[in-house]
Chains A and B, each alone.
Chain A
Amino acid sequence: AQKITQTQPGMFVQEKEAVTLDCTYDTSDQSYGLFWYKQPSSGEMIFLIYQGSYDEQNATEGRYSLNFQKARKSANLVISASQLGDSAMYFCAMRGDYGQNFVFGPGTRLSVLP
């Protein structure tokens, strides 16, 4: 069974500063994918970034980067230069081999302060 843990129910960050959102996972699969999604107050789920378990380099997408530490089973999201529009819920998720159940963590609510 797969499980995602996000230990920060809420986070605050000052505009233009960087913030790290924690995610740890548990799986017995050898091959898996890790994802981060953003959910603003409008409710839509917005894909941010993906990390494959065999990717040697940390994924980056613009201001988003994923700090992947496989041995520690962690996949933290780093947002650089925070913007007010980054205020939202952030969900970490994973999927095991061959498109099995796509499991989400409980989420972290990020608030960016002006």
Chain B
Amino acid sequence: GAGVSQSPSNKVTEKGKDVELRCDPISGHTALYWYRQRLGQGLEFLIYFQGNSAPDKSGLPSDRFSAERTGESVSTLTIQRTQQEDSAVYLCASSLVWTGRDYGYTFGSGTRLTVV
């Protein structure tokens, strides 16, 4: 597609339930990032995928969080046993590999997760 697509756009879930968030990057973009943005705060890095390399999971806040991506396609972020502090907007971004001249990443519109 023309842009990065995220679904669902909004998700309300009960505490303790599992949720799955989806990111469909721009075709051909090998790099994919997940970020969390709590209300009024900056972007908190979660995980980074680059092609078929092992992902950089250093930003995942706990073992309740996991993400998958097959090749250069769709990625899913899974949060198990959701807690109220997981409430945030989850943003996905994709880009081409660094080529020395870069016009930035393309972000999706995000998934607003509310845990009640």
Number of interface residues of B (CB under 8 A): 28
Chain B contacts to A: CB under 8 angstroms: 31, 33, 35, 41-43, 45, 48, 50, 56, 58-59, 89, 91, 93, 95, 97-98, 100-107, 109-110
Cα distance, A105 to B42, chains bound together (Å): 7
Complex interface: chain B residues within 8 A of A99 (CB):
31, 50, 95, 97-98
Chain A contacts to B: CB under 8 angstroms: 31, 33, 35, 37, 43-45, 47, 50, 52, 91, 93, 95, 97-107
A-B contact pairs, 20 of them (CB 8 A): A43-B110, A45-B93, A47-B104, A50-B102, A50-B104, A52-B100, A91-B42, A98-B97, A99-B31, A99-B50, A101-B48, A101-B58, A102-B33, A102-B45, A104-B35, A104-B42, A104-B43, A104-B45, A106-B42, A107-B42
Q: A97-B98, A100-B48, A107-B42 are in contact. List 18 more A-B contacts (CB 8 A).
A: A31-B100, A33-B98, A35-B105, A43-B89, A43-B109, A44-B107, A45-B107, A47-B103, A47-B105, A50-B102, A52-B102, A91-B43, A95-B98, A101-B59, A102-B48, A102-B93, A106-B41, A107-B41
